């Protein structure tokens, strides 16, 4: 019998850290990490030391001091007596407003342009190609400024709406488009409007229930129920009846031009041209990129799917909606996330047209009045980072829903 000699595990020697394959990888990684940490520590300590030497140690107390400046677009109450942090919040909300509305509009523009660019109609696909290439290949800030100048120069001044024989008139007597901004009627909620809102909400729920019923019936029996007309009726009739029954609780504050003093519109909701320009330019620009993503997604679905759908008798519209797009979404959604992030970050170009986003309030005026560049930039970076992470988190959830389910 041959005994297998018990081999003692080799004694660990310091040289093995580099000589032995088992350890070498770990050693190098540990060294790299230590070097990175050292570099980071060097940079940060350098920064702190230099700021202190300059007499500006890192300090966030400026946020609680009186801001002293006014902001023209406020989603929450704000006056110049409020502290800097509140001005920053006003800016944040303005950034979020333009980012959210921009993402929605960009998606709509992008999907339409992407689908139409594949159209067999030569003119349509050429027009869409021109749109995509035109917007993709010109810097965004130019589009923002161009849009703004068009809005300012192509529209009448508020003074033109004045007097008996005004040069300009309001659209349907309700909407005023001026070189300052667009003024819309503002809903005024009277007594009982809560009940009215409840009725509207119930109608929406009822429509949803009706659609489910109709679908189930079609799946079970093959007989379709009328969906569109019934839905419209459910949506419109009960709220209209409730509106009359409750004594017209909802009215509208229609904007009007001041007839004395300086001509400007009062009342209503003001949508400033700076917002319009930024929102339009951002959505058109990002929409051009999304169009290409959508086109790529659609082309990634094999032609056989379309042919199979046609063979089943589906019309082209339904083929696109029910067969192609759901499969294309798997390709579309991941790059779409980065477009949404781009749009959000690009909204910081707002200052080009004087839109008061967070870059303009906290990152502009506040920094300038308090001299706290470093702190301000840290907060800004933190804000954009948070927003971007939230957007990509939400979109990843959605992506998981449309991804192929592997069971």
Partner 1 sequence: MRATMWGAAALIVAAGAASAQTLNDVRSRGVLNCGVNTGLTGFAEPDAQGVWQGFDVDICRAVAAAVLNDPMAVNFVPTTGQTRFTALSSGEIDLLARNSTWTFSRDTELRLDFVAVNYYDGQGFLVPRALGVASAQELDGATICIQTGTTTELNLADFFRVNNISYEPVPIANDDEGQQQYLAGACDVYTTDASGLASVRATFENPDDHVILPEIISKEPLGPVVRHGDNEWADLVRWVFYAMVAAEELGITQDNVAEMASAPGDNPEINRLLGTEDEYGTMIGLDAQWAVRVIEAVGNYGESFERHIGEGSPIGLARGLNAQWTDGGLIYAPPFR
List 105, 242, 341, 365, residue binding partner 1 (CB under 8 A):
365
Q: At what angle do helices 325-346 and 273-300 cross, to 10 degrees?
A: 150
- For position 266 contacting partner 1 by CB under 8 A, the verdict is yes
Q: Choose the binding region for partner 1 from 232-240, 260-268, 335-343, 387-395 (rule: CB under 8 A).
A: 260-268
Q: Choose the binding region for partner 1 from 199-207, 280-288, 289-297, 354-362 (rule: CB under 8 A).
A: 354-362
Residues in the chain: 407
List 368, 393, 394, 400, residue binding partner 1 (CB under 8 A):
368
DSSP state of 267: S
Is 134 or 371 the residue whose CB approaches partner 1 more closely? 371
**Least distance to partner 1, CB of residue 189, Å:** 24
SS3 at position 223:
coil
- For position 348 contacting partner 1 by CB under 8 A, the verdict is no
- For position 123 contacting partner 1 by CB under 8 A, the verdict is no
Residue 189 and residue 195: Cα distance in Å, rounded? 11
Closest CA to 137 of 145, 129, 125, 147: 129
List 61, 80, 169, 300, residue binding partner 1 (CB under 8 A):
80
Total Cβ atoms within 10 A of residue 145: 16
Please work out the total of residues on this chain that contact partner 1, with binding judged by CB under 8 A: 46
**Least distance to partner 1, CB of residue 316, Å:** 46
Closest CA to 118 of 316, 284, 373: 316
- For position 370 contacting partner 1 by CB under 8 A, the verdict is yes
Q: How far from the centroid of its chain's Cα atoms is residue 96's Cα?
A: 7
- For position 299 contacting partner 1 by CB under 8 A, the verdict is no
List 18, 240, 373, 385, residue binding partner 1 (CB under 8 A):
373
Per-residue interface string for the shown chain with partner 1, residues 45-74, x marking contact by CB under 8 A: -xx-xxx-xxxx-----------xxxxx--
CA–CA–CA angle 250, 252, 255 (5° rounding): 170
Is 298 or 365 the residue whose CB approaches partner 1 more closely? 365
**Least distance to partner 1, CB of residue 350, Å:** 10
Six-digit token string for 239? 């709220």
Closest CA to 96 of 372, 375, 379, 359: 359
- For position 276 contacting partner 1 by CB under 8 A, the verdict is no
266 touches 272 (CB < 8 A): no
List 306, 369, 388, 392, residue binding partner 1 (CB under 8 A):
369
Residue 231 and residue 68: Cα distance in Å, rounded? 52
- For position 179 contacting partner 1 by CB under 8 A, the verdict is yes
- For position 43 contacting partner 1 by CB under 8 A, the verdict is yes
- For position 162 contacting partner 1 by CB under 8 A, the verdict is no
- For position 354 contacting partner 1 by CB under 8 A, the verdict is yes
**Least distance to partner 1, CB of residue 101, Å:** 21
Buried b (16+ CB within 10 A) or exposed e, 224-237: eeeeeeebeebeee
Closest CA to 77 of 92, 93, 90, 64: 90
**Least distance to partner 1, CB of residue 54, Å:** 4
SS3 at position 271:
strand
101 touches 346 (CB < 8 A): no
- For position 76 contacting partner 1 by CB under 8 A, the verdict is no
List 241, 377, 390, 394, residue binding partner 1 (CB under 8 A):
377
Q: Choose the binding region for partner 1 from 79-87, 121-129, 199-207, 226-234 (rule: CB under 8 A).
A: 79-87
Is 274 or 283 the residue whose CB approaches partner 1 more closely? 274
Q: How far from the centroid of its chain's Cα atoms is residue 380's Cα?
A: 17
Residues in CB range of 99: below 8 A, 6 or more apart:
343, 344, 347, 387
Buried b (16+ CB within 10 A) or exposed e, 29-48: eeeeeeeeeeeeeeeeeeee
Q: Which residues bind partner 1 (CB under 8 A)?
A: 43, 46-47, 49-51, 53-56, 68-72, 79-81, 149, 152-153, 157, 179-180, 258, 261-262, 264, 266, 273-274, 351-352, 354, 356, 360, 364-365, 367-371, 373-374, 377
């Amino acid at each position: 019998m041959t005994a297998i000699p018990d081999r003692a595990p080799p004694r660990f020697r310091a040289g093995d850290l580099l000589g032995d394959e088992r350890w070498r990888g770990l050693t190098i990684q540990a060294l790299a990490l230590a070097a990175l940490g050292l570099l980071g520590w060097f940079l940060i300590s350098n920064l702190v030391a230099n700021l202190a030497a300059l007499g500006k140690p890192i300090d966030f107390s400026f946020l609680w001091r009186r801001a002293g400046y006014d902001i023209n677009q406020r989603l929450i109450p704000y006056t110049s007596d409020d502290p800097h942090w509140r001005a920053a919040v006003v800016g944040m909300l303005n950034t979020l407003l333009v980012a959210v509305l921009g993402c929605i509009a960009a998606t709509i523009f992008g999907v339409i342009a992407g689908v139409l660019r594949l159209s067999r109609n030569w003119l349509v696909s050429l027009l869409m190609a021109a749109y995509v290439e035109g917007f993709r290949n010109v810097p965004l800030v130019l589009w923002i400024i161009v849009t703004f100048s068009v809005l300012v120069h192509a529209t009448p001044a508020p003074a033109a709406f004045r007097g008996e024989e005004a040069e300009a008139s309001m659209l349907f007597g309700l909407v005023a488009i001026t070189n300052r901004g667009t003024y819309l009627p503002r809903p005024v909620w009277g007594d009982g409007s809560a009940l009215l809102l409840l009725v509207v909400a119930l109608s929406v729920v009822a429509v949803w229930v009706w659609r489910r019923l109709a679908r189930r019936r079609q799946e079970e029996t093959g007989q379709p129920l009328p969906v569109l007309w019934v839905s419209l009726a459910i949506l419109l009739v009960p709220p209209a009846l409730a509106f009359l029954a409750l004594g017209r609780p909802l009215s509208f504050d229609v904007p009007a031009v001041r007839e004395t003093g300086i001509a400007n519109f009062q009342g209503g909701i003001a949508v400033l041209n700076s917002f319009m320009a930024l929102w339009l330019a951002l959505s058109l620009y990002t929409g051009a990129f999304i169009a290409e993503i959508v086109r790529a997604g659609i082309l990634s679905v094999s032609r056989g799917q379309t042919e199979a759908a046609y063979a089943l008798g589906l019309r082209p519209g339904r083929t696109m909606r029910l067969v192609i797009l759901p499969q294309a979404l798997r390709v579309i959604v991941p790059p779409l996330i980065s477009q949404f992030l781009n749009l959000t970050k690009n909204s910081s170009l707002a200052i080009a047209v004087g839109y008061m986003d967070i870059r303009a309030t906290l990152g502009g005026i506040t920094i300038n009045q308090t001299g706290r560049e470093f702190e301000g930039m840290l907060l800004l970076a933190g804000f954009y980072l948070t927003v971007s992470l939230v957007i990509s988190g939400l979109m990843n959830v959605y992506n998981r829903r449309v991804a192929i389910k592997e069971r």
